[in-house]
Chain A
Amino acid sequence: MRIAVTGLGAVSGIGLNVEENIDALRRKRHGMEKPRFFQTNLDVPVSEVKKSNNELKHLLGVEPDKTVSRTALLGMLAAREALSDSQIDAKAMRVGLISSTSVGGMDLSEVFYNDFRTDHSRGRLRMVSQHDCGASTEFVANQLGITGFTTTISTACSSAGNAIMLGARMLKHNMLDAVIVGGTDSLCKFTLNGFNSLMILDKEHCRPFDASRAGLNLGEGAGYIVLQSAETVRRKPYCLLTGYANANDAYHQTGCSPEGNGAFKSMSEAIAMSGVKLEEIDYINVHGTGTPNNDLSEGMALKRIFGDKVPPFSSVKAFIGHTLGASEGIEAVYSALSVSYGFIYPNLNFKSPAPETQLVPETEFSEGHNIRNVLSNAFGFGGNDTTLLFSKFEE
């Protein structure tokens, strides 16, 4: 079965829908600012979606006094766009939703906790009832009328990649006819402080793959794609999903092995699965968070696989930040469009290559390339490494 990508939806610090996102990438307009929409003492750049919760509810037609986590609102916006884009008739097919998140409803729970901590009878229950990861997924499924298999994956930064993989496998096993896959995460104090305590945040705008890179910037958003068999499509697919793999670095709880073993494994296996030759990979959407550790590990893995012929590559994280559970969802959308329209996205803030790998990313936006295959990486805590391979659709 050929797995076709037929719908795309994305919301991030640079746009509320796919078109706005691509436009910002084209114009090199990043979303990084000091936090505006949530309270924190931490003075670091973040890429927030530039709408308050009330504004998001208004866009979605959700009553303003209904308590909904920001993660669920962002997820809804992107999933709705993807479903509509695919033109599938959700009533005539078995349609599922496989979402991912790392934050879940923590944006609300951390507010609940302020009241609850000194007196367990305090705190409004509706603020903690959506704490768990599954809550945002069920909200989106309900709102979109999805009645097929629904679940939530949470493997930190690789989550959405794993959701996309599971979706493809369920299609191949005829458990679903179409599936909305991806992820959503909102910013919150818990996560921002978590990354800060690990000392991997950059106090400046991040510089993926640059020699002077000093850490990552967090972002929020949601990204979903719709997968279905190429035989059932109602519109021309953006591309095919021809390869995917999940491997574990098993090196350290939060750090990556300096040789990039997990990344090497997930990339090699995804490429092998697709049957695509190395020289046929025309662009790589790297994970590229901007931490000294990740970019070194990923860079080493790229060199181990491609030698001196590493294809054009870039990280979009200086635009949208590291959106954690949403990252591979949003970046899958960008990757699919890269195949479809020949886009190559700019890697911002790059000045000089890391001495260990000497790798130079693309620094300008360009289009109209013949992009036959795109590799997309997502590497998370717990050594979770996932790689997807998207290929040109031909009749």
Chain B
Amino acid sequence: MQPVFIINSSSIASDGTVAGLTMPAVEPDYKEIITDATLRRRMSRFVKMGVACGLECLGQTSDIDAVITATGLGCLSDTEKFIESIVVNNERLLNPTPFIQSTFNTVGGQLALLKGIHSYNVTYVHRGLSFESALIDAALQVADGARNVLVGAIDEITAASADVQRRMGLLKNYPLGEGSQFFMLAAKADAAPAVCDIETHTGLIDSEFVSVIESFIQRNNLRLGDIDCVLSGSSVVEKMFGDKAVDFKKQCGEYQTATAFALWKATQMNCANVLIVNQYQQINQSLILVRR
């Protein structure tokens, strides 16, 4: 694929503190970032987190060729609020706001509304590959001539979600995480990190994943030793890369769009070749190569 350069990025994420089953994000004062009170008043935490993060990444620009967002579970708190209201009120006299806010493309839509962006706007909701799908679409946009593309992810913790996931045995390795990251991508930029390759899979067993990682590195004309750092959410990687492997989920927890946090971390590092290797639960696998 044609490399896409990350010219700006933003993040709202955990600082590593665990609170029971979860690792909540450290949130800014949203009033300072989303200054329009009329729009802000309807936003739940999920929407504020995503919109604020997106606005931080956009800065003063609104001349964007695409806005692409990703989420694994969407706005859970509004979903829960609306379902609860259906039960409690027996389907009568329901407030529409939580329903509207619960739609998966809410953050993308709000960013477009706030900044008057009329261009391409899409949301991916595909488990542990939601953000990767968004990134692939963004890269295709750039390859097709987009000058700059905003791509980001959002996922939130709710008490109900944590309880369900614990019951399902999904929180054994890491606490439940949440956060939002946004990136501004462009076709060319000096001294900026670039996403050079992305690959996604579902249902690989460990040995298959190892082969996939090896082929991925090879097809980028690199050898295992050329990789300076591996940001990993997978145990498979420790055996392959030893000390170079950093478990990013110890900082952000496990959730469907955690790879966005890993990519943000990669942009903060001054390495020539960073490989992100992710495995969401035992379901999805992905690889992202970031180079400077």
Do A and B touch each other in the complex, judged by CB within 8 A? yes
What is the total number of residues of chain A having a CB less than 8 Å from a CB of chain B? Answer: 61
Does A153 lie within 8 Å of B124, measured CB to CB?
yes
Stretch of B29-37, B160-168, B262-270 on the interface side: B160-168
Q: Which of A154, A169, A170 meets B105, CB within 8 Å?
A: A154
Stretch of A69-77, A87-95, A376-384 on the interface side: A376-384
Minimum CB–CB distance for A120 against chain B, Å:
4
Minimum CB–CB distance for A369 against chain B, Å:
33
The B-contacting residues of A in range 149-204, CB under 8 angstroms, are 149-156, 162, 166, 169-170, 173, 189-190, 193-194, 196-198
The A-contacting residues of B in range 113-140, CB under 8 angstroms, are 113, 116-127, 129-130, 133, 136-137, 140
Does A246 lie within 8 Å of B110, measured CB to CB?
no
Chain B residues whose CB sits within 8 angstroms of the CB of A41 once the complex forms? 90-92
* Residue interface bits A222-266, CB-to-B below 8 A is 1, else 0: 000000000000000000000000111111111000000110010
A253-B105 contact, Cβ under 8 Å, with A166-B137, A194-B82: no
Does A193 lie within 8 Å of B86, measured CB to CB?
yes
Does A133 lie within 8 Å of B105, measured CB to CB?
no
Does A189 lie within 8 Å of B126, measured CB to CB?
no
- The interface centre, meaning the residue of A129, A169, A383 with most chain B CB atoms within 10 A of its CB, is A383
Identify whether the interface residues of A are mostly helix, strand, loop, or mixed. Answer: mixed
- Chain A residue at minimum C-beta to C-beta distance from B127: A134
A117 within 8 A of B: yes
B104 within 8 A of A: yes
Does A196 lie within 8 Å of B119, measured CB to CB?
no
Minimum CB–CB distance for B237 against chain A, Å:
23
Chain A residues whose CB sits within 8 angstroms of the CB of B106 once the complex forms? 253, 382
Chain A residues whose CB sits within 8 angstroms of the CB of B67 once the complex forms? 248
Does B90 lie within 8 Å of A381, measured CB to CB?
no
The A-contacting residues of B in range 199-216, CB under 8 angstroms, are 200, 202
The B-contacting residues of A in range 251-307, CB under 8 angstroms, are 251-254, 261-262, 265
A151-B124 contact, Cβ under 8 Å, with A169-B144, A189-B86, A381-B100: yes
Does B118 lie within 8 Å of A154, measured CB to CB?
no
Does A134 lie within 8 Å of B90, measured CB to CB?
no
A137 within 8 A of B: yes
Does A383 lie within 8 Å of B121, measured CB to CB?
yes
Chain B residues whose CB sits within 8 angstroms of the CB of A133 once the complex forms? 74, 104, 125-126
Q: Which of B112, B123, B137, B256 meets A383, CB within 8 Å?
A: B112
Does A190 lie within 8 Å of B83, measured CB to CB?
yes
Q: Which of A129, A152, A194 meets B125, CB within 8 Å?
A: A152
B94 within 8 A of A: yes
Stretch of A11-19, A108-116, A211-219 on the interface side: A108-116
A149-B200 contact, Cβ under 8 Å, with A134-B127, A254-B100: yes
Does A197 lie within 8 Å of B200, measured CB to CB?
no
Chain B residues whose CB sits within 8 angstroms of the CB of A138 once the complex forms? 127, 202
* Residue interface bits A69-106, CB-to-B below 8 A is 1, else 0: 00000000000000000000000000000000010100
A197-B164 contact, Cβ under 8 Å, with A41-B90, A248-B121: no
Question: CA A149 – CA B166 in complex, angstroms?
Answer: 30
A194-B113 contact, Cβ under 8 Å, with A153-B122, A154-B123, A383-B121: no
Does A381 lie within 8 Å of B86, measured CB to CB?
no
Question: CA A356 – CA B82 in complex, angstroms?
Answer: 36
Chain A residues whose CB sits within 8 angstroms of the CB of B104 once the complex forms? 102, 133, 154-155
Does A156 lie within 8 Å of B103, measured CB to CB?
yes
- Chain A residue at minimum C-beta to C-beta distance from B109: A382
Does B91 lie within 8 Å of A189, measured CB to CB?
yes
B226 within 8 A of A: no
Does A250 lie within 8 Å of B116, measured CB to CB?
yes
Q: Which of B87, B119, B124, B168 meets A248, CB within 8 Å?
A: B119
Q: Which of B86, B130, B160 meets A120, CB within 8 Å?
A: B160
Question: CA A261 – CA B104 in complex, angstroms?
Answer: 23
Does A382 lie within 8 Å of B108, measured CB to CB?
yes
Chain A residues whose CB sits within 8 angstroms of the CB of B126 once the complex forms? 133-134, 137, 150-152
* Residue interface bits A107-140, CB-to-B below 8 A is 1, else 0: 0011001101100110001001101111101100
* Residue interface bits B143-175, CB-to-A below 8 A is 1, else 0: 110000000000000001001100110000000
Chain A residues whose CB sits within 8 angstroms of the CB of B193 once the complex forms? none
Does A252 lie within 8 Å of B113, measured CB to CB?
yes
Chain A residues whose CB sits within 8 angstroms of the CB of B90 once the complex forms? 41
Question: CA A27 – CA B87 in complex, angstroms?
Answer: 40
Question: CA A141 – CA B200 in complex, angstroms?
Answer: 14
Does A381 lie within 8 Å of B105, measured CB to CB?
yes
Minimum CB–CB distance for B54 against chain A, Å:
14
Does A150 lie within 8 Å of B103, measured CB to CB?
no
- Chain B residue at minimum C-beta to C-beta distance from A252: B113
Question: CA A173 – CA B94 in complex, angstroms?
Answer: 46
Chain B residues whose CB sits within 8 angstroms of the CB of A189 once the complex forms? 86, 91
Does B140 lie within 8 Å of A156, measured CB to CB?
no
A262-B83 contact, Cβ under 8 Å, with A154-B105, A193-B99: no
B225 within 8 A of A: no
B20 within 8 A of A: no
- Chain A residue at minimum C-beta to C-beta distance from B166: A120
- Chain B residue at minimum C-beta to C-beta distance from A163: B122
Does B143 lie within 8 Å of A173, measured CB to CB?
yes
Chain A residues whose CB sits within 8 angstroms of the CB of B129 once the complex forms? 134, 150-151
Chain A residues whose CB sits within 8 angstroms of the CB of B143 once the complex forms? 173
Does A117 lie within 8 Å of B84, measured CB to CB?
yes
Does A249 lie within 8 Å of B164, measured CB to CB?
no
A59 within 8 A of B: no
Does A132 lie within 8 Å of B72, measured CB to CB?
yes
Chain A residues whose CB sits within 8 angstroms of the CB of B235 once the complex forms? none
Chain A residues whose CB sits within 8 angstroms of the CB of B133 once the complex forms? 151-152
Question: CA A149 – CA B143 in complex, angstroms?
Answer: 18
Question: CA A248 – CA B122 in complex, angstroms?
Answer: 10
A42 within 8 A of B: yes
A366 within 8 A of B: no
Q: Which of B83, B117, B144 meets A250, CB within 8 Å?
A: B117
* Residue interface bits B234-262, CB-to-A below 8 A is 1, else 0: 00000000000000000000001000000
A sample of 10 cross-chain residue pairs with beta-carbon separation below 8 angstroms, ordered by A number, consists of: A42-B91, A114-B87, A120-B164, A134-B126, A149-B200, A152-B125, A162-B122, A253-B106, A381-B100, A381-B109
Please provide the 4 A-B residue pairs with the shortest distance between their CB atoms, ordered closest to farther: A382-B109, A194-B99, A133-B125, A134-B127
